[in-house]
Amino acid sequence: MRLPRPMFPLLLLSVTVAVVPAAEGMWTFDNVPAEAIRARHGFAPDAAWLEEARLASVRLPGCSGSVVSPDGLVMTNAHCVTSCVRAVSTPEHDRAEEGFVAAVPADEPACAGMEINQLLEITDVTAKVASATKGMADAEFGRAQKAEMSRLEKECSADDRWRCEVVPLYQGGLHHLYRYQTYRDVRLVFSPEADAAFFGGDPDNFQFPRYCFDTAFLRLYQDGKPAVTPHHFRWSAAGAAPGELVFASGNPGSTDRLLTVAQLELLRDVQLPETLIRLSESRGALRLFSRRDAESERVGREFMLFLENTLKATRGELLALQDRALMEAKRRQESDLRARVARDPEQQRAAGGAWDTIAAATDVARRTGRRHDLVAGGLSGDLFGWARTLVRGAEERTKPDAERLREYRDATLRSVEFRLLAPRPVNNDLEMLRLEIALSRLRELLGADDPFVRLVLARESPESLAKALVSGTRLADPTERRRLWEGGRAAVDASDDPMIQIARRIDPEARASRRTWEDEVEAVIAKNSESIARARFAAYGTSLYPDATFTPRLTWGEVQGVAIEGLPEVPPLTRAAGLFERATGLAPYALAPRWAAARERLDPKTPFNFAATLDIIGGNSGSPVFNARREIVGLAFDGNMASLGGAYAYDGTENRAVAVHSAGILAALRAVYGAEALVKELTAARR
C-alpha cells in the first residue's frame, strides 16, 4: 500500500526533462496538459471539470481521498485510517480485527487528531519569495527563504479553518501558495477487518494480481453536523473497464526524478540502505513482541504495517538505483544538460558550478549524515516526540514568528498543538522497545565514548534508560500534555518528568546539528538546485511537471495488465473467485469469517482489484480513480514493485497502479457487510 515515502533531508524538488510520454506525470491542477490528453484519448478536461475534480479531492495525513456524497462522505483506504480504527477500539472490540460499520451517522465515532484538507486556491508567490532572498549566500538564503514562506503562510491563514502552505515547485523554480479548507472533526463510517483490507499482507504488498478490500469511509463534520459538500464525485454504474481512460487525483508525497547523480548516489550508497537496516531491526523485534499476548499483538499490528510497508517501498526504490542502466541514463541526462549550460557563458556563470557544489554537499552528508540523523533526529516513540514538541514549543513560542523553527511558526502551530493534545493510546512496552532499539543504535553507531552518547546515556544502558523514561513519564496522559503546553516555558522548565528532562538535556546539541545540516547541506542543495532548474527550463522548455510535493496532482492512464520479462502476463482485473482460491487459512492468506460466510452471495465474476498505467506514488493512497465523466471507477491503494522505481523515473511498460474496483466495493458493502445505507448514499450520488 502507498503510505508516503520516507522523506530524506536531501530529497528536494526537481523537474522533468524534454518530451513527456503519454500517461507520465503528476500534474498540478493549474497546469494540466489538456491537449496532450485529447491527442491520445479524444477527451480533454476543461477548467470547470478540473475545478470540480480538485474540490472533490482531499488530503488526509499521509494519504489522499475523495468526497463521494453531498453529506461529507469521504472515501479513502483502510490503511489510511488505521490510527483512527485503533483509537476507537476497546479491549472488548478490536475494530482493526473486526471491522467497523456505522449504521447511522449517530454511530460514527470521531477520528481524534485527523485533519482533512481541501484545496481552495493556488496563488503564485514566486516573485515575493525570490525578492526576499536576492543575492544572499547559502545559509542566509535558506533562513531568509523560510522566514518569507512563514510570513506568507501566516498572512494567508487568517481564518483558522484555513491552512496555508507555500509549495516550492520545480526545485524552487516556482513558489505557489496553496490555501486549504481544513476539517478537524472527522468521523469513522466504515473500515473493513484487517484480513479483508490487507489480504495477502506484506508478501502481496506492492504486487499484482491482488485481492485487497483496502476501502474505508469517513465523514467530514462541521459544527457537530455532517458537512455540506456540494463538490463531490458520483459513482460509475459499471466501473473500470480494460483499456479505459482513467484519472486519479491525489497527493503524491515525493519523487526525485531529477536529482543530480551525486544526490542519487548518496541515496543509493547511504540513505536507502541505512533506512532498510534500521527498519529491519525493528521488524525483527516486533515479530516477537507481537507474539507475547493479545494486547501486544493488537498494538504491534499497526506499527508492523507501517514498518513492512516502508521497508518494501524503500527496497523498491533501492532496486531501481541498483540498476546500472538507470544510473547510466541519469548520468547521460546530466551530461547533456551540463554541456548545454557550458555552451552559454551567462548560463555557465549562473549554473555551471551547481552540480559540483551539490556533489560537495553530498560529501558533507556522507561524512556527517549518520551522526546528524542520530543527534538531530532524537530518540524514538510517541512519548519522546511529545516531550520534544513541548520543550521546543515552549521555547519557540517566545520568539518572533520568522525566527522560529519552521514547524512552530504560527501557520502550522495549530496542527502541532492538535497532534500533541489529541488523546492517543500509549503502549508502554512498545514505547520501551522502540526507545531501547533507538538508544542501542545510537551507542552502536557513535561509540560509547562519543560525547552525545555520554550525554544521553550517562551510566545507564539503553534498556535501563528506556525503562526509566517510559515508566517515569506522565506524558501518556493528554491532560498533562495540555498542562505543560499551556504552561509554556515556566511549566516545562519546572517539570521533573524524566522524558521532558532528557528532551531538554539533548535539545541544544540536536538544534545545533540541525542548523549545521540545514546550512551546509540543505541550503546549498536548495540554492544550487534552483540554478539547475532555471537552466533546465531554458534548455527544455515549459511542458513539464514538477516532482511530487504531497500536494494535489492529477494523473491519467489506462486500465491495463502487465507483462514482466520472464513471468506470465497478468490481466488487468482480478475477480472475487480469485480471493477464495488464494485463501490458505493461514495469515496473511486467512479469509475473514464474514467473507467466508458471504461467499455464496458474491458473484465470483465480480471485479475486485485492477491495474492501471497511472503515475502515482506514496501519498496517493486513497486517490479516487475516475472516468472522463468524473465518475468513481476505483480506489487506488497500491502500485506494483516497478512502480516504486517511479521515485526516480516513470517506466510505463512495467509501472502499474493498483486499485479496488468500484463494482467490487458496492458488491462487498452489500453482500459482506450489509451496509445498505452506505450503498444508498454512494449510488444516490450517481444521479
Positions that interact with a second copy (CB under 8 A):
200, 202-204, 207, 268-270, 273, 276-278, 280-289, 312, 318, 321-324, 363, 366, 433, 437, 443-444, 447-449, 459-461, 463-464, 584-589
For 118-156, letters b (16+ CB in 10 Å) and e give bbeebeebbebbeebbeeeebbebbbbbbbbbbbbbbeb
Q: How far is the CB of 193 from a second copy (least distance, A)?
A: 18
> How far apart (Å, rounded) are the C-alpha atoms in residues 64 and 26?
14
275 or 560, CB closer to a second copy?
Answer: 275
Q: How far is CA 18 from CA 110, 337, 563, 655, in A?
A: 47, 11, 27, 20
Q: How far is the CB of 269 from a second copy (least distance, A)?
A: 5
DSSP state of 91: S
203 or 508, CB closer to a second copy?
Answer: 203
Q: How far is the CB of 5 from a second copy (least distance, A)?
A: 18
Q: How far is the CB of 565 from a second copy (least distance, A)?
A: 10
Among 24, 5, 7, 10, smallest CA distance to 553 is for 24
85 or 439, CB closer to a second copy?
Answer: 439
371 or 424, CB closer to a second copy?
Answer: 371
401 or 460, CB closer to a second copy?
Answer: 460
Please list, in sequence order, all residues whose beta carbon lies within 8 angstroms of the beta carbon of residue 347, skipping any fewer than 6 positions away: 340, 341, 535, 538
Could you tell me where the beta strands, DSSP code E, fall in 339-489?
Answer: none
282 or 531, CB closer to a second copy?
Answer: 282
463 or 519, CB closer to a second copy?
Answer: 463
479 or 584, CB closer to a second copy?
Answer: 584
DSSP state of 520: I
Q: Which residue has the cell 480469485?
A: 578
* Axis-axis angle for helices 676-684, 662-671 (nearest 10): 150
Q: How far is the CB of 578 from a second copy (least distance, A)?
A: 12
Q: How far is the CB of 329 from a second copy (least distance, A)?
A: 15
> How far apart (Å, rounded) are the C-alpha atoms in residues 81 and 218?
9
Pure H helices in 8-68: 34-41, 47-55
Q: How far is the CB of 437 from a second copy (least distance, A)?
A: 7
Please list, in sequence order, all residues whose beta carbon lies within 8 angstroms of the beta carbon of residue 188, skipping any fewer than 6 positions away: 81, 84, 85, 88, 100, 102, 108, 109, 110, 111, 216, 218
Q: How far is the CB of 480 from a second copy (least distance, A)?
A: 29
Bond before 546 cis per omega within 30 degrees: no
Secondary structure of 345-360 as H, E, C letters: HHHHHHHCCHHHHHHH
28 or 290, CB closer to a second copy?
Answer: 290
Q: How far is the CB of 311 from a second copy (least distance, A)?
A: 8
Neighbours of 9 (CB within 10 A): 17
> How far apart (Å, rounded) are the C-alpha atoms in residues 464 and 457?
9
Q: How far is the CB of 511 from a second copy (least distance, A)?
A: 20
Q: How far is the CB of 64 from a second copy (least distance, A)?
A: 26
* Grid cell locating 609: 482489484
> How far apart (Å, rounded) are the C-alpha atoms in residues 530 and 540?
15
Q: How far is the CB of 640 from a second copy (least distance, A)?
A: 10
> How far apart (Å, rounded) are the C-alpha atoms in residues 475 and 477?
5
Q: How far is the CB of 448 from a second copy (least distance, A)?
A: 5
Q: How far is the CB of 422 from a second copy (least distance, A)?
A: 30
| Amino acid at position 448, single letter | A
Please list, in sequence order, all residues whose beta carbon lies within 8 angstroms of the beta carbon of residue 579, skipping any fewer than 6 positions away: 199, 211, 591, 595, 608
265 or 382, CB closer to a second copy?
Answer: 265
202 or 410, CB closer to a second copy?
Answer: 202
DSSP state of 267: I
Asked if residue 190 lies in contact with residue 111, where contact means CB atoms within 8 angstroms, the answer is: no
464 or 653, CB closer to a second copy?
Answer: 464
Asked if residue 555 lies in contact with residue 248, where contact means CB atoms within 8 angstroms, the answer is: yes
Q: Computed over its alpha carbons, how large is the radius of gyration of the chain?
A: 25
Bond before 209 cis per omega within 30 degrees: yes
Phi, psi of 17 (to 5 degrees): -100, 150
35 or 444, CB closer to a second copy?
Answer: 444
41 or 582, CB closer to a second copy?
Answer: 582
Q: Which residue has the cell 488464494?
A: 582
